[in-house]
Amino acid sequence: CTGPVLVADVRDLYFQDDPFGPGSPEVKGLQVFEEHLNTSTAHWLVDWPVGDCKGVHFKKPMLCSGTTIGTLDAMMKYLDTMYEEMKAWLADPKCRFKTLADDQSIHNWLFYNGDLGDAIAVKNRDGIVNTVGFEADIVFGTHLKKMQEEKGMTHDEAFITPLPGGNDHTWISPEIYGMTDEDGFFTNFDGSRSRVVHQFDRAGPGFEKWMKKQDFMTDLGRDW
């Protein structure tokens, strides 16, 4: 086996199609994946740990450490590099942080410092992975605020109120938000269904109720 290989989070990720099936982009070397275009490494998640540990600050597109794809050889090299860098951070008192997300700090540092060789960064909604968390969080958060301020709902009432366009068939309006197709599946910018969806848990209960109805799901482990 020479790959390709996907290393990913499991709690907040699901497949809408085979990531390496027919029509999927060819995988050469290592692929890392950008988050929403409005996120960057200036966010504290990267800026604080890298700034304290390495003494540098940079503003580049935020890469998500929760999904990485590569050939078997490229993935093994990536994991070895991550492991060695993590050990180096643990050995240096100024590189130890009380956070559970410093893998993202290290992931971004290694890529932008040139330590991942010929790895390429794939723009969000333009490849195998669609990291939806940033946009989904804004959409759902804005909806909650609007329902409370304009409709006088409590937080709990607003929380279970469907997003605009939500019905028995879909959970959100594709025309208003441009995140999904008419059936509720997340899409890439070219209109095709995203093969891998990450950080879906930011989209709210309407999405998860829709998700539970899909043929590819049996149990989300949640009771909304």
Residue pLDDT, tens place only, 7-31: 999 999 999 999 999 999 999 999 9
pLDDT at site 2: 78
pLDDT at site 3: 79
pLDDT at site 220: 53
pLDDT at site 222: 53
pTM above 0.75, yes or no: yes
pLDDT at site 221: 54
Across residues 139-152, what is the average pLDDT? 97
The pair of structure tokens assigned to 62 is: 């935020």
Q: Which stretches of the chain are assigned E, i.e. beta strand?
A: 5-8, 13-15, 30-34, 63-70, 120-122, 129-131, 196-198
Percentage above 90 pLDDT, the chain: 90
Q: Per residue in 97-106, pLDDT tens?
A: 988 778 999 9
Q: Per residue in 45-73, pLDDT tens?
A: 999 999 999 999 999 999 999 999 999 99
Contacting residues for 34 by C-beta, under 8 A, at least 6 apart: 61, 62, 63, 64, 121, 122, 123, 124, 131
Please state, in angstroms and rounded to a whole number, the distance separating the CA atoms of residues 42 and 27.
29
